[in-house]
Amino acid sequence: MNAIIGVLAGLICAPSLAQSAPATDAQPVEALPSAVAGPAPMPGSIVMYRGSGVMGAAVACPIRYKGREIVELGRGKYAQWAVPSGRYILVNGTASVEVSVMPGETRYVRCQIKTGFLTGRADLEIVDEETFSAHRADYEEKPVSTPF
């Protein structure tokens, strides 16, 4: 019981002690929250890739975000785009896909060439990590044109 009374007395007297303490060159208290805020959130990433099949060899697969080209994928190419967590709508000339990325998460988007009337068309779809990893050794990395 005496320990509790001692702690309470210390808390009550602490403000009066702080007011009577001599001035020092210490930083103001307002500067502390930014230093104590904690680590910055981890970025996520989007891996975009195109298989190495012969189908649609002459058809390019440009991938854009908000009108800016991120990467143009040829056969057997992939690109990894580091992004803050959030929602991204990736588009090309004939398709679009919405990708939601959480902090530290990697999402995978495949560009697949499908048959069309006169020429092939590039289709975008979300796939899982196993689908990408199954042929990862066959792909060559390509840098993204627009870093986030």
In a domain, 27, yes or no: yes
DSSP-derived secondary structure letter, 117: S
> SS3 helix, strand, coil % of the chain, rounded to 5?
25, 35, 40
Of 72 and 26, which is predicted with more confidence? 72
Q: Is there a domain that residue 148 lies in? A: no
78 and 24 together in one domain: no
Sequence-distant (6+) residues with CB within 8 A of 8 are none
Spacing of C-alpha 69 from chain mean position: 17
Residue 147 domain-assigned?
no
Predicted structure pTM score = 0.68
Read off the CATH number of the domain in which 55 is found: 2.60.40
Q: pLDDT-based confidence at 28, cuts 50/70/90?
A: very low
> Do 25 and 54 reside in the same domain of the chain?
no
Q: How many CB atoms lie within 10 A of CB 44?
A: 21
What are the pLDDT digits (tens) for 33-78? 444 565 666 789 999 999 887 665 667 899 999 999 999 999 999 9
**What are 107-129's pLDDT values in tens digits?**
999 999 887 666 667 899 999 99
Same domain, 26 and 93: no
pLDDT band at residue 133 using 50, 70 and 90 as cut-offs: very high
For residue 81, list its beta bridge partners.
Answer: 46
Domain range spanning residue 107?
44-141
One domain for residues 11 and 67: no
Instruction: Residue 123: count other Cβ atoms within 10 Å of its Cβ.
Output: 16
Q: What percent of the chain has pLDDT over 90?
A: 47
pLDDT of residue 5: 47
Say whether both 61 and 18 belong to one domain.
no
Number of domains, the chain: 2
